Structure formats: C-alpha cells, structure tokens
Chains A and B, each alone.
Chain A
Amino acid sequence: MKYVIIGNSAAAIGCVEGIRRIDNDGGILIISDETHHTYGRPLISYLLLGKTDRERMKYRPDDFYARNGVETKLGVTVTKINPDAHTVETSEGETISYEKLLVATGSNPFVPPMEGLDTVKNKFTFQNLDSALALEAAITPESNVLIIGAGLIGLKCAEGINDRVKSLTFVDLAPKVLPSILDDDAAAIIKTRLEEEGIKFYLGDSVGKFTENTATLKESGEVLGFDVLVLAVGVRPNIALVKDAGGACGRAITVDSRAATSLADIYAAGDCTESRNAVTGDLMVMAILPNAYMQGETAGINMAGINYEFDKLIPCNAIGFFGKHILSAGSYTGDVYYTNDGTNYKKLFYSDNRLNGFILIGDKHPKDGEIPAYDRAGIYTDIIRNGTRLSELDFELIAKRPALMAFSRVTREEYLGGER
C-alpha cells in the first residue's frame, strides 16, 4: 500500500485530505482499532446530552472513504512497525507494507494506581464513543456519580449526564477546575456555574482508598458514596509503536513542522504527538482537534511528496458548560488586560510587544443587544498565531473588542482585498 494510516479520527482524516490535495491515485489504507465510521471525538458528551446523534456526529459523510479511495481495516490493531522493512504488523497476523506511514494513535486515559480501585465494578473512562456508550448504559436517574478529575474530559462528561443522574461529585488534586485552560478567576466562575447545577466539588484532594461503592479522601477524610465511577484524571499519548520502532519520543511522539517523526517515511499527528508551540517555542502536547486535523493534513501533503511546513500550532479551546462559554488560546503570561462585567470576562495576556494568550467567557445565549466577550475571538487568535507585533496595530482599540479596524489600512487591504 502506498499510504498507511493508523487511526481513524481527526488527524487521520486530515491526512487523507492532505494526500488527496496532491495525489489522487495512490492507495490509502486506514487501520483503526475502533469499529466506527469516523466521528467527532469531542462530540461524545453532546451525544449523551442529546444535542447530536450517531448519524450527525459522523465527522465526514458516509461516502468519505469510497470517494477518497480509502480502504479501511476497522477493529484491527497495529501491533508493530518495522521501519527498515517499511511494514506494519496487525492483530490479525497480517504484515502490510507501506511507502509512507502516518501514526495517529491518539491517547488513552491514564489511570493512576489507587488503593482499592480494583474492587470498584462500575468504573468508566470518557474518551471515545464506546466508553461513552458504556457509561450511558450504566447510569440511571438514581445514580450517584463520582468523577475523578475536573478537567475538560471530566467536566464535559458531567454536562453530558447531569440531567440523567441523581448526583455528580468531583474530586481533583488541583485546587481549581479546568487547570489546563483557566486562570484562578475564570475557574471560579465556571465552578460556581457548575455548583448551581447541583454538582459538588472536592478540590485539592484525592482518593486514598476505594471500596466497591465508597471513596475515602486523603486530605479531608470525607467518605463519598457512589454507584458509578468515572476516571478522568488525564490521558497518555499512545507512543509505544513509534518508541519501540526506535523513533524519538518525549512525553509524546516528537514531530517537526512537517509532522515527520525521526524515522524515515513515518509521520505522526494529533494527540499522540508533541510539537512546537508557535507562541512559546516549546515542544508540547497540544491535544485538541483542530491541531490534530492540521497536523494530519500537513503530514498528508508531505507524504504525497510536497515539502510543506506548518508551524502555527497553538493551544486553544472553545468549550461551554451549562450556558457559559469559554474561548481561550495561547499562554497566560505577561501583563494583563482585564475586564469583567459580571457576565463577560476577558483577560488578555501580553508582553514584549506580543499577545501571548487570552481567556474569554460569556453567556452562550447573550441578552438582547449584548456582545459576548468571545465575539470575533479569532481575530485575537490570529494575532497570537502570527506573532503580530502589537505596535503594528491599535492595541487600545482591539483590547476592548476584536476588530479589523485596529489594523493599518494596508493590512486591511491585504485582508479584505486579497486571498489567504
């Protein structure tokens, strides 16, 4: 096979579309341990919430594989990469050769060792469609659900099932919710909103011991009863295939701006990789869907023989909880521009003539005539992504509200009279 892709989510689909921009003929094989048609991974909470369904959550139309000349092996696991022979081995005992390989193996939930965890029968993770369906089958209106980990995965899970269970309780070692994307003030706003929904939090604490239906907390000594346990502590990038093949890995598979690994003809993209943060220059895991797609696409274009670099990846998130909507990007260092009217929260972080990051929170359904803090946030994102010098624009104006008016006339002419 000319192109082999391990994985079937955003990075894999991006790779197919990247290849097909260049090469309409070369055969593509997707091998995935999941059996489903490609679906939007972050949609699993919306599925439980009833805001989407199995049909609408398909990431691409039913004819995607046929139209793009893609063969699939679903429900099949790749067990080994032989980089010298240019082959992969599968759980079916097959050996499949490739000319170019993409590793888009994603990540798996990380479950730290906790005493007594093995005695808990009703325990779940919240990572993919199958895990969401398993959780859905286990909950009832009488369920008391304990979620370990108040990050993106845990909180989205909570939103998905809150109306379908009796109670929801969080335990997290971090002192605030969403520590990876929010500062203290913003985290307090979201936590308050979640508490209004009846959700309870034990933060800065962890479980010392589980029994089948109880968790005893280390710090407070509190004993929490539960029927259903969700483990959302974190994820680990799936790096074993590349690492065992001798490819460079840090916390994840190390890739360059062409999405190439250190192994010849092997590329990697998405949650299994670490790549260069365009703002800080640091190598880091930026496990978000847009980056997975763009990295996959970058890999695909290179796999098809065109030298193409993409170096504008930054961490960013758009996420909502119970009517509060958060848009955030970049890193939260430097001087702070801060406004907060009680509903609309805005923090811009800047230093050395550059915008480093932002956190914007507003209501999902703003009042009549109200402009939410997140309106046109992409203009900020683009300034961060491009490293635009703040002296080149009217920062006072743009800090109040993102607008192209803040750019010079020449820049506006390029933006609105040209093409990108």
Chain B
Amino acid sequence: MKRVYVNEKWCLGCHLCEYYCAFAATGKDDMARALKGVKINPRIHIEEDTAEKISFAVSCRHCTEPYCVKGCITGALSKTDGVISVDKDKCIGCYTCVLSCPYGCVQPTEDGIVQKCELCVATTEGTPRCVAGCPNSAIVFEERL
C-alpha cells in the first residue's frame, strides 16, 4: 500500500505542495489561472518554526485503524483500496472527525463540511500532485514495510 511520507530534513518550507494540492482540487489544467486571486484551502499543510528552521508537510496518513472513519456519525468517511475519502453529500459537518484525527488532517471547508487528502484519486496521474510538485523530494509516495 503506497502512502505519502514526509522527509522533514528535505523540506524547504516553500509551501508549493499546498498550492499543488489546491490546484488538484480545482480540476483545471493551468495552475496559474486556476489559483490566481484565489485564497487556497489545501488539504496538505506546512508546519514551520522559522526560528528553529524546521518545516514539514502534514497530510492524511490514511491510517490502518482510522479514528475518523470509525467515528464518523454519517458514514460519509470511508476507506476503499487504502484511500480514506469523504462523501460530501452525506457529510453534515459535525466535526467528529476533526475531534478524532491524531494528525489534525481532517479540516473544515468553507461550506461547513470537511475535506482531507484523498491521494489525488480524482486526478489521473497516479502520483499525488503535492509529491510530484515537491522540488526537493521532501514528500514521497511509496511503499514502505
């Protein structure tokens, strides 16, 4: 099962992953046009401590034992073929998943429901855009034992 893994020591803190993530969600072809003037709400987030010069990306771990899925009161969150996704039609925005996720990776949308990384299954490239766009291989998509 391939997962997104983060190599903290390689992270430049450039936030490009956040933009690639937001771009993927638009479904459009051109990143500059898709995001121009848009306040992005990506599903991957850079945490950074500028004084200590630490930064790293955080996105859904697609846990083997996912508290978000097990706790979902509507059945909107489910796991299929290793990918945890949200059925936006079913979600009523109770935020039980926000309360449950150990990594803080399920977050509210402007519509008052939730969103999370779905490994870019909606795009066709096979590799999540945050991974493909990371200039320093700080985010990788691979199988680990």
Contact = CB atoms under 8 A, between A and B. Distances in A.
Interface of A: 10, 14, 40-43, 46, 51-52, 56-61, 289-290, 293-294, 297, 316-320, 325, 327, 329, 364-365, 368, 372, 374-379, 381-382, 402-405, 409, 412-413, 415-420
Contacts of B95: 318, 320, 325, 327, 374
Contact of A378 (B57, B67, B70): B67
A402 B96 CA distance: 16
B127 to A, nearest CB: 18
Contact of A376 (B64, B67, B107): B107
Tell me whether chain A's interface is mostly helix, strand or loop, or mixed.
mixed
A402 B100 CA distance: 13
Given A297-B70, A319-B94, A416 B5 contact: yes
Interface of B: 3, 5-8, 39, 47-49, 54, 56-58, 61, 63-65, 67-68, 70-71, 73-75, 89-90, 92-104, 106-108, 110, 112, 144
16 contacts: A40-B74, A46-B92, A52-B92, A290-B96, A297-B70, A316-B100, A329-B99, A376-B101, A376-B104, A377-B98, A379-B102, A415-B61, A416-B8, A416-B57, A419-B64, A420-B61
A375 B47 CA distance: 14
Contacts of B75: 40, 58-61
Contact of B94 (A293, A318, A415): A318
Contact of B89 (A40, A56, A316, A402): A56
Contact of A416 (B49, B58, B93): B58
B93 to A, nearest CB: 7
A230 to B, nearest CB: 21
Contacts of B57: 416
B61 A376 contact: no
Contacts of A416: 5-6, 8, 56-58, 61
